[in-house]
Structure 1
Amino acid sequence: MFKRICAVFGTAIIAMTAIATTAAADPKGDIIPLRCDNGQTVEVAVNGNGDFTPGHLVGGTAVYVVQSLDATFTFTPPGGPTETQHLVRSKANVHGDLVSCTFDFTDTSPEGTFHAFGTVVVFITPAS
């Protein structure tokens, strides 16, 4: 179960940075906060399940395209124990004006507590 949860959230984190939306509509998917070295702090809505899947910038029209990801995931079911997984992914052809962002979020459900933190490198483009 832990591997499945990590895979879903890992994919969500990868997805969060290839973002496209057309309006400030209600976000769909998991909301993940990003603090970037360009001075921006944003939230992205992630809805997908593949490596580098696009997500949506909450309240904006920017596209964050994932170039690499270094993340750690922990899952603690009620009563423990905590399981940990580390995920590192990178595109073969990293390009663009790169921005590094960090994330750290926790999600608690009846199944347990999921914590994800790490760094994602992206380039940001306007939505078409």
Structure 2
Amino acid sequence: MIKRLSVSLAFGAVAALALAPAASASGATTIGSVCDDGQVIELVFNGGGNFTPGHFVGGTAIYVTQSIHATREFTPNGGATQVTYFNVDKPHVVGDLVRCNFNLTRVTPTGTFHAFGTSTFFITPAS
């Protein structure tokens, strides 16, 4: 479960977040972000891959992940914090890109998961 959250979080969030009702029903992860184009967004991710696209909550745009740079911290209940770094880039970045910052905290039965960093996206137009 922590591994899946680790991969999903890399797609962006800075605001205090909670799982959206529709997302929690489907097992998806919802993450908020603040982007360098001035947008504050929420994206839903329905997969566990590094480059799973995010679906814009409240619209039809798709945020196609181009890179993820994150710090992940897991503090097990009663234990010391474990820190890992996650950096992945597509080899051929395409399109007009937007960079988004995220900061995500989730409390699980085994401890607290915190991740923060940046993701770069290509945004598909609404259809």
What TM-score, normalized to structure 1? 0.81
Question: Cα offset for 1:10?
Answer: 3.1
Secondary structure of 2:94's aligned partner? coil
CA distance in 2, matches of 1:75, 1:113: 6
Give the structure 2 partner of residue 74 of structure 1: 73
1:83-102 → structure 2 map (5 Å cutoff): 83-102=82-101
Give the aligned residue type for 2:42: E
Q: Deviations over 1:38-60 (max 9, x none)?
A: 01001111221112012322121
Does 2:124 align with 1:121?
A: no
Corresponding residue pairs, total: 116
Give the structure 2 partner of residue 65 of structure 1: 64
Do the aligned partners of 1:76 and 1:114 also contact (CA within 8 Å) in 2? yes
Residue ranges of structure 2 left out of the alignment (5+ in a row): 13-20
Q: Deviations over 1:54-92 (max 9, x none)?
A: 232212111111111100110111112111110000000
Secondary structure of 2:22's aligned partner? coil
Runs of 4+ residues deviating >6 angstroms: none
Secondary structure of 1:94's aligned partner? coil
Give the aligned residue type for 2:6: G
1:1-128 → structure 2 map (5 Å cutoff): 5=2, 7-14=3-10, 26-27=22-23, 28=26, 29-128=28-127
The share of aligned pairs that are identical, in percent, is 48
What TM-score, normalized to structure 2? 0.82
RMSD: 1.9
CA distance in 1, matches of 2:59, 2:103: 21
Give the aligned residue type for 2:4: V
Residue ranges of structure 1 left out of the alignment (5+ in a row): 17-24
Do the aligned partners of 2:9 and 2:104 also contact (CA within 8 Å) in 1? no
Do the aligned partners of 2:31 and 2:44 also contact (CA within 8 Å) in 1? yes
CA distance in 2, matches of 1:54, 1:124: 10
- Could you tell which deviates more after superposition, 68-77 or 48-57? 48-57
